[in-house]
Amino acid sequence: MSQKDIPYGYCYCGCGRKTNIATRNYWANGTLAGEPYKYIRGHTGIRMAGPESPDGYKWCGKCKTTKPIDEFFKHSNEYDGHQAHCKMCVQENYYDYLRHNRDKEKLYSLRNRLKRKFGMTHEQYQAILDSQNGKCAICNGDDIISPVTNLHRLLAVDHNHITGKIRGLLCRNCNRGIGLLGDSIERLESATAYLKKHSE
């Protein structure tokens, strides 16, 4: 069925459903206020959705393969409630993006984590890091390199677990060390005395 065979006011994808009336002009697709939309929301891609698939299956527009519907992530804006690309293709696209945008994604993740966990901005984090000359506030050393990514781990944000106040930035080992000792000054002093006693 071509678009010229579709009755006025019905979705151009050929699904047989009526479209809503536009409340304002949409010059990009030629729809004027008071006229019916050409497509139901999410139906614009149906005409390019590949061959017709049996019930419970869907055509993946990326790998050009018909797969069971449960191999597609759900998406409320699509006509059938599932994404146009299968899970495997979506994941491959995501990993490919990460490979080519590692620094960008790392910064985005850091900004979100700082805001969510500590209520601080990346600029505030950077200001603390600069005040410490980019070093751990305890051992004055650079953070270690991850054996998995071969990249420098970012210094961890150390905070008072009772008040939530930010104390500084620590390397992974120092941050875990004071955490395992319960942030207790007494335990740290006792540990220091113990090490001194047995250092000879």
pLDDT at 149: 43
Instruction: Flag whether 29 is in a domain.
Output: no
Instruction: Flag whether 129 is in a domain.
Output: yes
What digits encode the pLDDT tens for the residues 57-106?
888 877 878 899 999 998 876 767 888 788 998 888 888 877 777 777 77
Instruction: Flag whether 85 is in a domain.
Output: no
Instruction: Flag whether 72 is in a domain.
Output: no
Higher-pLDDT residue of 27, 40: 40
- The set of residues, in sequence order, having a beta carbon less than 8 Å from that of 122 and lying 6+ positions away, is 107, 110, 111, 114
CATH for 166: 3.40.1800.10
pLDDT at 148: 44
Least-confidence region, from 118-122, 129-133, 168-172: 118-122
Residue 74: strand pairing partners: 82
Q: How many domains, the chain? A: 1
pTM of the model: 0.46
Three-state SS at 31? strand
Instruction: Flag whether 66 is in a domain.
Output: no
DSSP H helices in the chain = 87-100, 102-118, 122-131, 172-180, 185-197
**Which range marks the domain in which residue 185 is found?**
116-197
Q: What proportion of the chain, given as a percentage, has pLDDT over 90?
A: 4
Instruction: Flag whether 184 is in a domain.
Output: yes
